[in-house]
Amino acid sequence: MEELRKKNDDKFSSDEEEEEPEVEIVEEDLKRKKKRFKCFLVFHGDRKARKLPHSVRVSLPRDGSWDTPRALREAFGKRYAEVRGCALDPFYLVDSRGIPLDDEDSLKLYVSNLGTLHVVLGRVQKPPPNKVVQFGYTQAPHLPFRVVRLDAGWLHVVVVLETGACAAWGSNEFGQLGTGDDRKTSNPVLCEIDGVASVACGSYFSCALTKAGDLYSWGRYQASNSPTRVADTWVNGSKGGIKGEVITMVACGESHTVAATARGALFSWGYNEQWQLGWGEREQDRQGQQKPRKVLNLSNVISLSAGGQHTCAITADNLLYGWGSNAEGQIGQVVRQSVGEPKVMPLDDGVAKVVCGRHATLAISQGRAYLWGSLTGSSSSAASSSSEDQKGEEGQAPEFGKLSSGVTKMLAGAQKQLVATGVEDARLGEAHGLILAQQLKGWGYNAYGQAVGKSEPDFVDEPATISTVLDYAAPIDMSAAGGTTTLLLPPKEE
């Protein structure tokens, strides 16, 4: 985001620091400087006129006269009217989490020195117009901000706020929450990044794509293959091969990542034991690496998804390609062996969307949802592994990969199987799936209620209507990532 600065009457100051006179205050016989409190206001209005900076820095008077959000908001409105010749009304201020500022509160409750506030057009809405619905092993905490996108890993969740900030909660042993530490939390915490448009989560890592096309990642599988708990890695800012590219899409698998660029090229990095990176089948490449490289023989990518150890992409000519593991037939090849380069998957009618699970692929073509591979976990697995065993000791969440001992009636193998018609959207997790076809339906492993909203039966073989209190048919965003939970983002309340 390009930040411009505007000077205005010594309050809206330039980006260069001005030398300020020292004010001596005697307090406990010590002399110290009293500096102005500064913050940034980011304007989310119409930027076409370009008569007002997208971002301005505000230096608050030392006398404390701007100590409330009301004073700051009125000053911004006055300056806008002077520059544009018309009033900016209505508008309100929110903090980096999207929480509206109360006019009579102390300003410093919402922003620290050199922090950022956002100017949002419209009237403040209380309570927030949407919330994250989560069911399964864990439930979503109370979120006092407006969420616009979301995704989940094995046991962690990352959401994008309306302001472009990110919040996260859940497990954090590899730094996947992006907080700079490894402490898990059930309450939302802010990630150390802003300006975000979308997020994608792997099992133990997270990626954020900014509005400017920059890609950041944190958690496991970072550079040098070691956990990164301190902030993030700027993938297309520092990594050779992809440096300088504008990223438009990103997808995360169990231990690998793929990203498409504005030029239609596809890059991948991470683990490569089943050739899921699409670099060919040279033994020296099997270990994979964290340095992004181009996927072979594929261009004009318009959609992509990553599974456990396989990857799928749709090109501009509506062809579906898959590569990587084919142990369950998830990339549609008859021979059950891994494939190192993109291969066309058999789908005659073209494809509009593809989503990958751990051992499965689902594609939507003309409203019909087709499945390859298998959603693992079914009542038939009881002979080899009980539901209680899969749940883990004392009802704890199972370890990643422990839901894969059984099969389901939705086991298609290399031959695609029709799952449903009239499908608008879909998601796959490790062992359960979601489809939106007028109603929201789920199927697969359900011991925690993650498939249909209630914990009985343990396995749902066919898509069934989700039993929740939801009063809508089409969520804005949803995720079945991870094996034990489902997340939904309802539309904004009017």
Supply the mean pLDDT for the chain: 79
Phi, psi of 160 (to 5 degrees): -100, 130
Which CATH code of 3.10.20.90, 3.40.50.300, 3.30.300.10, 1.20.1250.20 fits the domain covering 12-121?
3.10.20.90
Average pLDDT over residues 413-421: 86
Q: Looking at the predicted structure, is the pLDDT value of residue 13 above 90?
A: no
Share of the chain above pLDDT 90, in %: 33
Interior CA angle at 364 toward 358 and 365, to 5°? 145
On whether the 133-489 domain is CATH 2.130.10.30, my answer is yes
pLDDT tens for residues 443-487? 998 888 899 888 788 888 889 988 765 555 567 788 886 778 899
Give the strand pairing for 38-43 and 115-121.
parallel
> Do 12-121 and 133-489 have matching folds?
no
pLDDT tens for residues 364-393? 999 999 999 988 633 333 333 444 444 554
Q: Which residues contact 480 (CB under 8 A, 6 or more apart)?
A: 357, 427, 428, 429, 432, 433, 434, 442, 450, 486
pLDDT at 240: 59
Q: Taking a C-beta distance cutoff of 8 angstroms, is the pair 26, 78 a contact?
A: no
Q: How far lies 396's CA from each of 42, 375, 433, in Å?
A: 43, 22, 21
How many Cα atoms within 13 Å fall on the side-chain side of residue 10?
Answer: 5
421-431 in b/e form (b: 16+ CB < 10 A) is eebebbbbbbb
How many Cα atoms within 13 Å fall on the side-chain side of residue 174?
Answer: 21
Encoded amino acid at 17, one letter: E
Q: Which two tokens stand for residue 73?
A: 């908001």
Nearest by Cα to 306 from 375, 355, 249, 364 = 355
pLDDT at 396: 57
pLDDT tens for residues 460-470? 888 998 876 55
Q: Which two tokens stand for residue 461?
A: 């073989």
Q: Which residues contact 73 (CB under 8 A, 6 or more apart)?
A: 91, 92, 93, 101, 103
Sole residue written with tokens 């990110």: 166
Whether omega before 90 lies within 30 degrees of 0, making that bond cis, reads yes
**Predicted confidence band at 433 (pLDDT cuts at 50, 70, 90)?**
very high
Where exactly are the structural domains of the chain?
A: 12-121, 133-489
**Predicted confidence band at 12 (pLDDT cuts at 50, 70, 90)?**
very low
Phi, psi of 399 (to 5 degrees): -70, 155
CA 178, CA 160: separation in Å to the nearest integer?
13
pLDDT tens for residues 118-174? 888 888 766 555 678 888 888 888 887 778 899 999 899 999 988 788 899 999 998
Q: Taking a C-beta distance cutoff of 8 angstroms, is the pair 485, 471 a contact?
A: no
Comparison of pLDDT for 421 and 384, the residue scoring more = 421
Nearest by Cα to 230 from 210, 216, 212, 249 = 216
pLDDT tens for residues 284-312? 888 878 888 999 899 999 999 999 999 99
Give the strand pairing for 301-306 and 289-294.
unpaired
Comparison of pLDDT for 345 and 79, the residue scoring more = 345
- How many other CB atoms sit within 10 Å of the CB of residue 314? 23
CA 491, CA 148: separation in Å to the nearest integer?
9
